[in-house]
Chain A
Amino acid sequence: DVKVTQSSRYLVKRTGEKVFLECVQDMDHENMFWYRQDPGLGLRLIYFSYDVKMKEKGDIPEGYSVSREKKERFSLILESASTNQTSMYLCASSSPGFRGNQPQHFGDGTRLSIL
């Protein structure tokens, strides 16, 4: 089974702090994704990566950056945390597959609170 591991289940940080959310997958997947999930807004894509050192902006990249130095690890960075970034953050990975349509596999999420 694919295993996507997010480093923290719950995290509390203060406004203005630099925050790192880490995600590791064990299936040698090329694609990795970061989403945030908010009540009434569903899942929104922040960034994704299709290879080491490659990244693409999703629908809501403002206030975030990402890093992918190794294939198995994809980090989400909040440069200066703000209260409106309080949310559930979900990491996912997938292989390109034939026609590229392979399912994404998700971690258990990090519930981040910014005070």
Chain B
Amino acid sequence: AQSVTQLDSHVSVSEGTPVLLRCNYSSSYSPSLFWYVQHPNKGLQLLLKYTSAATLVKGINGFEAEFKKSETSFHLTKPSAHMSDAAEYFCVVMGLGGFKTIFGAGTRLFVKA
């Protein structure tokens, strides 16, 4: 069985400081993992994906994530937060065949000026 846990429901950072959004997963086989961002009243936009190639994955808007099998983690980071990064972020694990997709509960990121 697969599952995904986002460890923080809310994260607040100051503009220009680093961002860390934490995600742990559980999977009986090597998973495909994704991070999405959702701005208010919009759909989900793909930030980055891990599909068993390089463990450090770079995405759009300066975000990156590192797959750590030993820790079953896939944390999302960004060196310097921008006001426009304020949104909700979802960690997602996908099963074989691409049909069974498990979404995390989401982490809302607040960015203070």
> Per a CB cutoff under 8 Å, which of B46, B94, B101 touches A105?
B46
B45 CB contacts on chain A under 8 angstroms: 106
In the bound complex, do residue A108 and residue B101 qualify as a contact, i.e. CB atoms below 8 Å apart?
Answer: no
Q: How many A-B residue pairs have CB under 8 A?
A: 54
| 0/1 string, B78-113, CB within 8 A of A gives 1 | 000000000000100010111101011110000000
Complex Cα distance, B96 from A9, in Å, reads 32
For residue B44, CB closer than 8 A to chain A, the reply is: yes
**Contact A42 B46, CB 8 Å, known A94-B98, A96-B98:** no
The count of residues in chain A whose C-beta lies closer than 8 Å to any C-beta of chain B is 27
> Per a CB cutoff under 8 Å, which of B43, B51, B98 touches A107?
B43
A90: nearest chain-B partner, CB-CB: B43
B44 CB contacts on chain A under 8 angstroms: 90, 92, 104, 106
Shortest beta-carbon contacts, A-B, top 6: A101-B32, A106-B43, A100-B98, A100-B97, A106-B44, A43-B103
Contacts from A to B (Cβ < 8 Å): 4, 9, 31, 33, 42-43, 45, 48, 50, 56, 90, 92, 94, 96-97, 99-109, 111
Identify 12 residue pairs between A and B in the complex whose beta-carbon atoms are under 8 Å apart, listed by A's number.
A4-B43, A31-B98, A42-B106, A45-B101, A90-B43, A96-B98, A97-B98, A100-B96, A101-B98, A103-B49, A109-B42, A109-B43
